[in-house]
Amino acid sequence: MKTLILSNRVPFPPNSGYPIVVYNTIKGLLKLDVDITLFSINTNKHRIDVDDIYDPVFESIKFHSFDIDTEVNLMGAFLNIFSNESYNVSRFYDDDAAKLLENILRENEFDIIQFEGLFVVPYLDVVKNNSKAKLIYRAHNIVFDVWERLANSERFTPRRKYLQFLARRLKVYETEQINRFHQIFAISEPDRQSILHFGCETCLDVFPVALDFEKYVIDTSKTSFPTLFHLGAMDWRPNKEGLEWFIDEIWPDIEKLNSELRFYVAGKSMPQHFYNYDSDNLVVEGEIFDAVEFMNSKAIMIVPLLSGSGMRVKIIEGMAMKKCIIATSYAAEGINCKNGVDILIADTPDEFYRSILQCITNPNRWREIGENARKTVERDHHISTISERMLSVYQRLVNG
């Protein structure tokens, strides 16, 4: 089975949500003897020096990448208003990248070509014109939904209007592309329902985030208590927005609960103003070297997202590390978890306060939830199970 995977980021190292999903997809399929070629857009924002990649998964695939500057350009954004294109998506297309992809397709015959997310879909016509492979679109989230929610939470009217404009353009593009593939993979059941709602007529299955549990080793002797932590990339606006809300509206009351309580904030691209919050009880660490080690050393994970769709990979990882997750409904969306059993759901400052209070006054409570969380993700997110299901879909498409 020869498979070409297209990604809008180089998924090495797998150190945040999108790269983890793509990396584990490749890793799981390699174990099933799938021959994999990867074509990645290497953006300025997430630039990876390909020569510095040392990874056994990387060594096992055929890899191609193309550098593209996808940064927002004021003139480009202005001119885009007068076109029919989505500015969010069009920035990922480059004629020279398309030529490189065309050459790959002419030199190889693939059985399956999988588009990892909306931002590589601009290359769909190139693929259709140069390959007879079965085409799969994997929706990592409902992109326009993320932008609609961001627009709704924006208070500055001109910016809100522009975000609404971007969301409308995205919605048109996203919904138009769905039926151009042979198969759609949604990352969660809510996303599957959304895709059905906007007219999906092709085969549609749910393939959630897959984890290799050998990576998630728990050493409770290194876990400090009472500790809270937040871990997430701060160049993703919903993370930044949610954390600001938690620190401004909720943390001042939480801080008074226990003088020994510590709240650790970590993530790449940490905005400078977050360091102004740094105090004896709130520690802003910025980017960290080892996310698993960081999670292992803390007790309770805070995920205060107010917008977003898809599936929060860091929550899945936290559950794998037996963390007690306290998260908003938005953050937990799409994860097959149950409030009070393997996660705590909190959507208001009062609910966060009460959830944190019960955990730090009753340590057995957060440990029990963490134990249940690990069992949940082992059941629903094991790399072997998900990869075998994915390969069976590949075989059905090719042989059907």
Query: What is the tens place of the pLDDT at every residue in 168-221?
Result: 787 888 888 999 999 999 999 988 998 998 889 999 999 999 999 999 999 999
The pLDDT score that the predictor gives to residue 58 is: 97
What are the tens digits of pLDDT across the range 42-84? 998 889 999 999 999 999 999 999 999 877 666 555 556 655 6
Report whether 299 contacts 365 (CB < 8 A): no
Q: What's the pLDDT score for residue 73?
A: 65
Query: What does DSSP assign to residue 343?
Result: B
Average pLDDT over residues 115-141: 95
**pLDDT value at position 49?**
95
Q: According to the model, what pLDDT value does residue 314 have?
A: 93
Which of 298, 254, 261, 267 is closest to 281 using CA atoms? 261
DSSP code at position 400: -
- The H or E element containing residue 27 is helix 17-31
CA dist list (Å): 258 to 70, 131, 281, 303, 400: 45, 62, 10, 21, 62
pLDDT at position 356, please?
96
The CB density around residue 71, as the number of other CB atoms within 10 Å, is 10
Cβ neighbours of 168 (radius 10 Å) = 15
Residue in the structure block whose two tokens are 């927005």: 241
Residue 80: predicted pLDDT: 63
3-class SS of residue 5: strand
pLDDT at 168: 78
> Are 208 and 186 spatial neighbours (Cβ–Cβ below 8 Å)?
no
Residue 307 in this model has a pLDDT that exceeds 90: no
CA distances from residue 331 to 246, 315, 377, 395 in whole angstroms, order as listed = 13, 8, 16, 34
Which residue type is seen at 4? L
Mean pLDDT of 303-326: 90
349-366 in b/e burial notation, b at 16+ Cβ within 10 A?
Answer: beebeebbeebbeeeebb
Give every CB contact of residue 191 below 8 A, 6+ residues apart in sequence.
139, 141, 142, 206, 309, 310, 334
The answer to whether residue 310 scores a pLDDT higher than 90 is no
What pLDDT is recorded for position 133? 98
CA distance 211 to 230: 20
Task: Give the distance from CA 272 to its chain's centroid.
Answer: 23
**6 contacts: CB under 8 Å, gap ≥ 6:** 39, 40, 101, 113, 114, 115, 116, 120, 123, 127
Mention every residue, 6+ apart, whose C-beta is less than 8 A from residue 283: 262, 263, 264, 265
Are 142 and 309 a contacting pair, CB within 8 Å?
Answer: yes
The number of beta carbons lying within 10 Å of the beta carbon of residue 129 is 9
State how far the Cα of 398 lies from the Cα of 153, in Å rounded to an integer.
44
What's the confidence (pLDDT) of residue 90? Answer: 76
* Segments in 187-283 forming alpha helices (H): 189-197, 237-249, 251-254
Q: Which amino acid is at 364?
A: N
- Is the CB of residue 175 less than 8 Å from the CB of residue 199? yes
CA distance 384 to 313: 17
Considering only residues 84 and 376, tell me which one the structure prediction assigns the higher pLDDT. Answer: 376
Give the whole-angstrom CA distance, residue 316 versus residue 377.
Answer: 7
Given a cut of 70, whether residue 283 has pLDDT beyond it is yes
Amino acid code (one letter) for 92: F
Beta carbons within 8 Å of 302's beta carbon, 6+ residues apart: 228, 229, 230, 246, 263, 326, 327, 352
Say what the pTM is: 0.90
